[in-house]
Amino acid sequence: MSLAATLMMAASSPSARAATETTPRAAAATSGTPVAKSDKDRMICKTEALAGSRVPKKVCATKSEWDARRQEDRDQLEKAQKAASAPRGF
């Protein structure tokens, strides 16, 4: 019973939830598929912590999709910060 509890605690530790990347060469070595030729076509898998859940979710996307997602997140944050700091009239 204590072994199961120890494994559960280790799986839910912050280091286990940290984003991990799978390189295309490592993925190709395990799956037998050829390595992507373009850097933007490289598949990257990360584990993300979900709000309200202790179980992280594995999300895979290409490098260009991760870049687009990161840029969209930045744009939304900047928009929210501008709206919060805008002067309000009386």
58 occurs within a structural domain: yes
Tally the domains of the chain. Answer: 1
Q: Give the CB-side neighbour count of residue 20, counting CA atoms within 13 A.
A: 11
90 occurs within a structural domain: no
Q: SS3 for 26? A: helix
Q: What is the pLDDT of residue 19?
A: 45
2 occurs within a structural domain: no
Q: Does the predicted model carry a pTM greater than 0.75?
A: no
Give, in order, the Cα–Cα distances in Å from 68 to each of 19, 25, 33, 41, 71.
17, 23, 25, 13, 5
62 occurs within a structural domain: yes
Q: Which residue has the tokens 């490592």?
A: 26
45 occurs within a structural domain: yes
Task: Tell me how many helices (H) and strands (E) the chain has.
Answer: 4, 2
Query: pLDDT tens-digit profile of 56-80?
Result: 999 999 999 999 999 999 999 999 9
55 occurs within a structural domain: yes
1 occurs within a structural domain: no
Q: Which residue has the tokens 């390189």?
A: 23
